[in-house]
Chains A and B, each alone.
Chain A
């Protein structure tokens, strides 16, 4: 794995992409544009209430209809791209930042410190994660950032395992032995010599973390525990619109489809990146 250039990995990712992968990439791009563009992309204000209109099925004016408060479902779905991307990004980055430090230490030093870290990891992995997330977020009073923090803690465990095993592969390589003989300080070996070589693996798994976090955060919001009431968020829309499935199905099916399409596309790209890195 050593000495893989970024270009080589990048080439393997883009080279000979199947049509399905291109579609996935386009979907992610669309969601990204919605998240960055926000109001400029949306057909109208996501928060404007039209109480006299109420919930209506799709029409020429509102392509995806309106919800109980008469808000434009399409505009809310576009606006929901933001919470769909920000939280998972923070979860993936946060979990891997902590896991990288723990994994480097556990993998490189071994011995008792490795034992302590990995037994902690085992315990977290044996817990029913999604259940813990629901209970902790619910009891502490909920909120988007509480949910994000709980997911970071739960994701650190599997991520630490991944980083540690990648570090173990590097540790036995001759270049590390050479660095040791030259009496290069340990922190330098860890962060300057080993880290760049395990980075591709970390990044490829971070993409998968992202997709998993997206689904989990949407689930918490679907239970009414994630984002604050009133936020335009795909999971929250499923919660708020649960009683109008038969009057305006688009109010549920559109955000539901967005969750699957976004998470699925990112998962597909993530699998591709992981294969390219592993070669």
Chain B
């Protein structure tokens, strides 16, 4: 860790602040987007006693101007108080933290599949450009991009889970150990991975093809550097730059996919928490979950920008932020 790197990380985190503010305003405004007035939105449209309504108005400062409401809400949110769920009376933070581990499990499992399969497939297709392997990889990746996770999930659930009986079709294996969990989450992770895999394959293939034309590859060949070494330590590293650049697209696709997959497989993760809350107009939970997802995406974006600099030393600190 050198000084320039630390300064760059600090700067990058600092530039994420305006974005976080935009998102917090958006999340705050959600209450007022709902049909009817904010108070009835916060009760989920149910009739409640006058005292309870007054308490709610006081909690959300609904009688004060919007700006004051926002600042007070933001203050509460920053100290970890997002209110309580309209439906379950559970504090929003508890509900989110309860559900987060499953979603993280699922996402990392899928990310491993994507990286372990996507990069080699893209590389193999690029090295034999125009071959049958290449053409089938390209066609499959076009269809992969167009296959939302809930569609691949349904097919996997039916054919591998039900017809072939290879995997459990229900539950997240919460009470079991590591392997039980992995076993239960294999189909969901696969469904999630398939939709994202296509993006990675496409970008890797295009990047490798572009790199192969570069002079340094021809020069390395002329020097007699073994082909395997050219590919793995010279070319692949450079070809990874566009993949890392696309990381934010990949992360957003994975996250959206995770929401759909959790619904398809009825997994109690953050995505299903959010969708259930949206269906029941449980505004505090929607706010909490949306903020959690958004902050996660922004942090991953910051992390990839840093990774980007580490992979490609030609990019100078501070200039990579575009």
Q: Name A's B-contacting residues (CB within 8 A).
A: 20, 123, 126-132, 134-136, 138-141, 211, 215, 218-219, 222-225, 238, 245-246, 249, 252-253, 256-257, 259-260, 263-264, 266-268, 271
Contacts and interface: CB of A to CB of B under 8 A. Distances in A.
A268 B142 contact: yes
Contacts, number: 121
Contacts of B22: 123, 127
A129 to B, nearest CB: 6
A137 B107 CA distance: 25
A225 B148 contact: no
Given A260-B146, A264-B143, A267-B146, A131 B279 contact: no
A194 B125 CA distance: 38
B145 A131 contact: no
A20 B26 CA distance: 44
A92 B262 CA distance: 29
A131 B306 CA distance: 25
Interface string B152-172: 001101100010000000000
Interface string B283-294: 100100010011
Contacts of A219: 148, 150, 256, 260
Interface of B: 19, 22-23, 26, 30, 33-35, 139, 142-143, 145-148, 150-151, 154-155, 157-158, 162, 248, 252, 255-256, 259-260, 263, 274-275, 278-279, 281, 283, 286, 290, 293-294, 297-298, 301
Given A245-B158, A253-B158, A267-B142, A130 B279 contact: no
B151 A127 contact: no
Nearest to B143: A264
18 contacts: A127-B26, A129-B256, A131-B274, A135-B274, A140-B33, A211-B146, A222-B263, A223-B263, A223-B278, A225-B278, A245-B154, A253-B158, A256-B150, A260-B151, A263-B147, A266-B146, A267-B143, A268-B139
Contacts of B283: 139
B155 A128 contact: no
A135 B278 contact: yes
A263 B263 CA distance: 22
